[in-house]
C-alpha cells in the first residue's frame, strides 16, 4: 500500500493599513518608514526611490497576504496612480497578482518561488523530522512530508507505521498532486489561476477514482478549502486513504504538506476529522520551528 497526501485551507491575509504623512516614521519626500524595531529602517541616502518602493511593496505583500492600491499609496506616501503603476509592474514580473480585476493585489508566483527556495535552504526535512515521528506515533499511521514540484507531489520524507498492515513509504516518488491528499492540500492553498496554469495538458489518472478534469479538480479544491484539510480515498492507490494539511512558512506562503496515510479500512470517515486536527497541530509546530535557527 502506498499514498501521498496533504491539504489545507486557503487563509486570507489581513490587509495592510499603514499610515502616511510627515513627522516620526516618515522618510524624505513623504515616504513612510518604520521606526527601528518595527521592521523597516530609513532608506539609505544613495537608494533609488522607485526600487526602494517596489521592494517595500514586495515585503508588504509577503507579510500581509494582500494589498489594496490605496494601502500601497499610504504605505509609500505616494499618489494612488503611482502605487498602481508599481503594483502593475510587480504583477508583470510575477511578484504580485491582481485579484479578479479589482484594486487588490496578492503575492505572485515569483514571490512564492522565492519562499520555496528559502525553505529549501533551511532544510525543511531537518526541521520537520521530529514532528513527523511524533505524528506517526500519535496516529499509529504512516506520515509523509510532501512538496509541490510542477503539478506533481514529491515525497521528500516520511515515517512508516509499525502496524503489520500499513502504507509503505514513498520517499523520492512524484505522483500527480491532484491524486494525493498532500498535493491537494498545497493546491488548495494556491490562487485558482496558478492551479490552472499547472495543468496545460490535462490530468493524469492513477485509479478509477482519480479526478479526471480541471473543473473536477477546481470543484474539489473548493471543498478542501471549506473543510480545512484534503482527503484521498483510493485516488492514488487502491485501498489506501489519506488526510493532508498544508504547511506554511512564517510569511504564510504554502511550502509543503503533511499527509497521514492508512489502509482504507482503518481510515474511516468518522476518524478523519480527528486525524486532521492532529495534522494541523503538527503543521503549526513545523511553521513555528522554521523561525528557530537550526
Distances (CA, A) of 218 to 159, 192, 210, 222: 30, 8, 13, 6
- Sole residue written with cell 496558478: 194
Using a 10 angstrom Cβ sphere, with 0-12 exposed, 13-18 middle and 19 or more buried, the burial of residue 92 is exposed
- Name residue 159's beta-bridge partners: 143
Cβ count near 35 (within 10 Å): 11
Residues 6+ apart with CB under 8 A from 181: 3, 4, 5, 6, 7, 229, 230, 231, 232, 242, 243, 244, 257, 259, 261
Mean pLDDT, the chain, integer: 82
- Cell for 166? 500499513
Q: Does residue 136 carry a pLDDT above 90?
A: yes
Mean pLDDT of 198-205: 90
- Cell for 62? 509577503
Longest distance between any two alpha carbons in the chain, whole Å: 69
Task: List the single range of 54-63, 196-205, 209-218 with lowest mean pLDDT.
Answer: 54-63
Task: Please tell me the distance from the alpha carbon of residue 139 to that of residue 268, in angstroms, as a whole number.
Answer: 13
Size of the chain in residues: 294
Mean pLDDT of 66-92: 90
3-state secondary structure of 157: strand
Element (H, E) at 259: strand 254-263
pLDDT band per the 50, 70, 90 thresholds, residue 16? very low
Q: Does residue 100 carry a pLDDT above 80?
A: no
Residues 6+ apart with CB under 8 A from 164: none
The rounded percent of the chain whose pLDDT value lies above 90 is 58
Amino acid at each position: 500500500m502506498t499514498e501521498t497526501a496533504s491539504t489545507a485551507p486557503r487563509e486570507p491575509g489581513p490587509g495592510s493599513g499603514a499610515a502616511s504623512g510627515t513627522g516620526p516614521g516618515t522618510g524624505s519626500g513623504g515616504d513612510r518608514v518604520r521606526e527601528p524595531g518595527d521592521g523597516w529602517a530609513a532608506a539609505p541616502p544613495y537608494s533609488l526611490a522607485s526600487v526602494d518602493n517596489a521592494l517595500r511593496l514586495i515585503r508588504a505583500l509577503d507579510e500581509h497576504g494582500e494589498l489594496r492600491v490605496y494601502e500601497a499609496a499610504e504605505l509609500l506616501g505616494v499618489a494612488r496612480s503611482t502605487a498602481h503603476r508599481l503594483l502593475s509592474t510587480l504583477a508583470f514580473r510575477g511578484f504580485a497578482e491582481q485579484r479578479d480585476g479589482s484594486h487588490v493585489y496578492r503575492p505572485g508566483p515569483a514571490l512564492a518561488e522565492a519562499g520555496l527556495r528559502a525553505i529549501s535552504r533551511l532544510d525543511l526535512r531537518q526541521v520537520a523530522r521530529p514532528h513527523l515521528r511524533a505524528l506517526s506515533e500519535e496516529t499509529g499511521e504512516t506520515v509523509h512530508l510532501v512538496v509541490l514540484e510542477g503539478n506533481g507531489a514529491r515525497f521528500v520524507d516520511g515515517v512508516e507505521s509499525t502496524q503489520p498492515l500499513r502504507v509503505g513509504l514513498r520517499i523520492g516518488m512524484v505522483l500527480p498532486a491532484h491524486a494525493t491528499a498532500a498535493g491537494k492540500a498545497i493546491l488548495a492553498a494556491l490562487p485558482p489561476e496558478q492551479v490552472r496554469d499547472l495543468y496545460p495538458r490535462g490530468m493524469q489518472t492513477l485509479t478509477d477514482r482519480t479526478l479526471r478534469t480541471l473543473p473536477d479538480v477546481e470543484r474539489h479544491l473548493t471543498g478542501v478549502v471549506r473543510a480545512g484539510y484534503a482527503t484521498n480515498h483510493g485516488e492514488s492507490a487502491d485501498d489506501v486513504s489519506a488526510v493532508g494539511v498544508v504547511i506554511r512558512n512564517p510569511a504564510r506562503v504554502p511550502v509543503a504538506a503533511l499527509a497521514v496515510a492508512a489502509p482504507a479500512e482503518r481510515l474511516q470517515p468518522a476518524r478523519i476529522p480527528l486525524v486532521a486536527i492532529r495534522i494541523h497541530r503538527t503543521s503549526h509546530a513545523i511553521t513555528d520551528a522554521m523561525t528557530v535557527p537550526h
